[in-house]
Amino acid sequence: MKKIIVNADDFGRHELINRAVERAFKAGCLKSATLMAGGAAFDDAVKVAKKISGLGVGIHFTLANGNPVLPPEEIPTLVTAERIFHDNYVKFLKRYLSGKISLTEVRSELAAQLEKISRAGLKLTHFDSHQHLHHVPGIIEIVLKLARTENISAMRVANTKLFDGELDSLGKFFGRLGLGSLAKFAEHAAHKKKFATPEHFAGIVAGESVSENFLLNLIENLREGTTEVMLHPGTDNKILQDFCRWEHDFEEELAAVTSPKILDALTDKNISVINFAELVK
């Protein structure tokens, strides 16, 4: 049987992302989102999640390009002089590989993120991470143990296809190649601990947006099993691009997952739209 999970990352990062999640659930095929504990619109996202019955909410563990939950002085190896996480996964990994990141601090910060969401009263369906850092050896073991403490039994595996989206630079080529290798390692570690994972991953990981045409092609060629589609929908490109400092087409992704063509195609192909909770039933 063919199933699809459409997951919105960065839930809680901005209220315009939260509005997009709500709209995409009510009028589209989005049934899952992952929540940033350190997001500026965290409280608003919690209200949205509690209001929408049937939305599967996971945790979007964050170690780069965001705000920590713990006081910065408690996690000095993870933050900059501005008391925020380092800008992106490249900077984080350079520090990590050179021994400048404390795994004790990683564990403490991620535990605090999980505890914050738990205190908010949400039952989590799964976990993933901002910029896919949960795939990194050393970090994957930490997040699997933390997930067990909250009875989370499912995880994203961002086993991206090398040729999904544009390959217009060596950076994108090696980025996808490296992520694919780390994803296989993380998947093996998760399965060893009896975590469920979708069989396939279809998000575009190099910054391009998931378009209507991308989804139509995916649906037409969907493989047996469950496929997760990662996306970052939003309602206003100008505001969100300035806020996130990211030239992403948030609006295109919202339009894609609420497109009548997409909804009709899913129905015509008899594809079940689920969230991660159904993956572990």
**Which whole number is the average pLDDT over 132-137?**
96
- Of the candidates 112, 46, 34, 45, the one whose C-alpha atom is nearest the C-alpha of residue 78 is 112
Q: State the pLDDT at residue 159.
A: 86
pLDDT digits (tens, 9 = 90+) for 174-213: 455 567 789 999 999 999 999 999 999 987 654 568 999 9
pLDDT digits 0-9 by tens, 52-67 = 999 999 999 999 999 9
Domain coordinates in residue numbering, the chain:
2-279
Q: What is 76-143 written as a DSSP string?
A: TTTB-TTSSB-SSHHHHHHHHHTT-S-HHHHHHHHHHHHHHHHHTTPPP--EEEGGGGGGSTTHHHHH
User: Does 2-279 carry CATH code 3.20.20.370?
Assistant: yes
> What is the pLDDT at residue 161?
61
Instruction: Report how far apart, in Å, the C-alpha atoms of 260 and of each of 160, 250, 272 are.
Output: 26, 18, 16
Summarize pLDDT for 215-237 with one digit per residue, the tens: 999 999 999 999 999 999 999 99
Q: What is the mean pLDDT of residues 161-181?
A: 52
**Cβ atoms within 10 Å, residue 184:** 13
Least confident interval from 75-79, 204-208, 223-227, 260-264: 204-208
Tokens, residue 217: 């092609």
Of the chain, the percentage scoring pLDDT greater than 70 comes to 92
- What are residue 158's phi and psi, to 5 degrees? -85, 60
Read off the amino acid at residue 138. Answer: G
The model carries a pTM of 0.93
**Residues of the chain above pLDDT 90, percent:** 88
